[in-house]
Every structure is written in structure tokens, then in C-alpha cells.
């Protein structure tokens, strides 16, 4: 029997919720009773409360999405920062604008969305921020230098912000997945994926539902004493 959580009466924003991990997160939150607004470049799940097209590298688009969300929501209780862009290749072969974009989406975008939503989350009695980082941010992965740097920044941002908000009801945590079975990973090609599986002690990719289940717990009242934490989801691959 699976563990269930009741998030009825909770309003949540999920960036990158149109597909992959973000879509699974949005669906799990809705299944727990939350009203969910998906912010993404692609449409969100049809059953979501609202699906808003937004480029999180554009502060003006974030502000517009927030204003639209607040026309239907009395407040915001949960923010899941899932929007991300992988980028793969040797660092010296990446054009400047390519690795800048990786940083803009994964780190700067996460920070800007959080900055704009924070006043509303502060007013919530059960505020939750969950940032999606990566195993790459903990260990640094070859051919993912910019992505690793951005993910490490997300981890440090999570820890610092959690301390700033420790005197509020807002809990800030981070999940650092290893390779998860999504189009983002499988699109790297079978040879790369096979290498990822071989490096995993569990000898498989993770699933989007496994990540979403952890997000659900982090957004629930059961998570009351965890803040500034980084939760590994690498199938045992992470060394710390």
C-alpha cells in the first residue's frame, strides 16, 4: 500500500511541469489534492489548474505568469523549481552563449522565479520550496561542466535560502537526481545511457514517479524539520 499525503487547499507552481520529471511532479501534487499551475515552454498536464507558457530566463515573463496565477489563486504555498536544460559536450567546444544559457535556465532562472514568488510563500502557513538539482552538482560530471556548475549553485542556493527563511514557515530543500528515464536522458543516445546505467549500483535509471514521490513528501506537513537538505536520488551512485 502506497503512502498518501493530503495537500488539499494548497496552491502550487511547478516550473518545467510540461513533461518529464516536472509533469510527474505536477500530477502527483494534483493527486494529493493541490491546485497546480504549470509554468513551462510546453503545455502542462491537461488536468492541471492552469498551464502558462513562460521562459524562466525572462524576468518579465515570470512576472506575467505570477500575475496570471494570482488571478485564480489566493496565494502560493508550494514552489517546485524543476525547469532545466541539460547541455552536453566538452566545455571548450561550447560556445559562450550555449553555456550561458545552461546557467540562465538551471541556476539564474531558479533564483529569479524564487525571488518573485517568495513574498507570497512567506505568507503561507505551510510554505515549501523544492529545487531540482543534480548528481552533477555534487560530483561534477565530464561533458557537463556548465550543467554541473549550475546544479552546484542550486544546491548552495538552497542551503543559504533555507537559513534565511528558518524563522518562517517556509521549508527549502533540494533533490539531486542521478540519471532519470526521461527524453532528456535517453536523447543523449544509447551509448551514453548504457554508461550511466553501468555506473549505477542499482544498474538502472530512476523513474519520474520516484522523484515525484519524494517531492510530494517534501511538500507535505510530514516534512517539518528538514530544511536546507539535499536528497540524493542516484541509485547509490553518489559518493556523499
Q: What's 44's domain CATH number?
A: 3.40.50.720
Count of domains for the chain: 1
| Catalytic positions, written as ranges | 147
Question: What digits encode the pLDDT tens for the residues 58-116?
Answer: 999 999 999 999 999 999 999 999 999 988 889 999 899 999 999 999 999 999 999 99
pLDDT value for 14:
98
Radius of gyration of the chain measured on its C-alpha atoms: 17
Angle at 174 between CA 50 and CA 189, to 5 degrees: 80
User: Which helix or strand (DSSP H or E) is residue 35 part of?
Assistant: strand 35-40
Expressed in percent and rounded to 5, the helix, strand and coil fractions of the chain are 45, 15, 40
| In contact, 209 and 152? CB cutoff 8 Å | no
Range(s) of the domain holding residue 79: 11-232
Is 239 inside a domain boundary?
Answer: no
| Res. 191: pLDDT tops 80 | yes
Is 1 inside a domain boundary?
Answer: no
Is 217 inside a domain boundary?
Answer: yes
Is 97 inside a domain boundary?
Answer: yes
Angle at 222 between CA 213 and CA 240, to 5 degrees: 60
Is 3 inside a domain boundary?
Answer: no
| In contact, 25 and 82? CB cutoff 8 Å | yes
Question: What digits encode the pLDDT tens for the residues 40-54?
Answer: 998 877 777 799 999
| In contact, 172 and 162? CB cutoff 8 Å | yes
Is 6 inside a domain boundary?
Answer: no
Is 237 inside a domain boundary?
Answer: no
Rounded to an integer, what distance in angstroms lies between the CA atom of residue 100 and that of residue 78? 28
Is 5 inside a domain boundary?
Answer: no
pLDDT value for 217:
97
Amino acid at each position: 500500500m502506497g503512502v498518501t499525503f493530503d495537500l488539499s487547499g494548497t496552491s502550487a507552481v511547478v516550473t518545467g511541469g510540461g513533461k518529464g520529471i516536472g509533469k510527474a511532479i505536477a500530477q502527483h501534487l494534483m493527486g494529493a489534492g493541490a491546485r497546480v499551475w504549470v509554468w513551462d515552454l510546453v503545455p502542462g498536464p491537461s488536468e492541471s489548474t492552469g498551464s502558462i507558457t513562460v521562459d524562466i530566463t525572462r524576468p518579465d515573463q515570470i512576472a506575467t505568469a505570477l500575475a496570471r496565477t494570482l488571478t485564480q489563486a489566493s496565494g502560493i504555498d508550494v514552489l517546485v523549481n524543476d525547469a532545466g536544460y541539460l547541455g552536453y559536450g566538452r566545455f571548450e567546444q561550447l560556445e559562450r552563449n550555449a553555456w550561458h544559457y545552461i546557467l540562465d535556465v538551471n541556476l539564474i532562472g531558479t533564483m529569479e522565479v524564487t525571488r518573485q514568488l517568495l513574498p507570497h510563500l512567506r505568507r503561507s502557513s505551510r510554505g515549501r520550496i523544492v529545487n531540482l538539482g543534480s548528481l552533477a552538482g555534487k560530483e561534477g560530471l565530464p561533458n557537463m561542466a556548465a550543467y554541473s556548475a549550475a546544479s552546484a549553485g542550486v544546491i548552495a542556493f538552497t542551503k543559504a535560502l533555507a537559513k534565511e527563511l528558518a524563522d518562517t514557515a517556509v521549508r527549502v530543500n533540494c533533490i539531486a537526481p542521478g540519471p532519470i528515464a526521461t527524453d532528456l536522458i535517453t536523447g543523449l543516445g544509447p551509448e551514453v545511457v548504457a554508461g550511466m546505467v553501468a555506473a549505477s549500483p542499482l544498474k538502472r535509471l530512476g523513474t519520474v514517479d520516484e522523484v515525484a514521490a519524494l517531492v510530494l513528501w517534501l511538500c507535505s506537513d510530514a516534512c517539518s524539520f528538514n530544511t536546507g537538505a539535499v536528497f540524493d536520488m542516484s541509485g547509490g551512485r553518489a559518493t556523499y
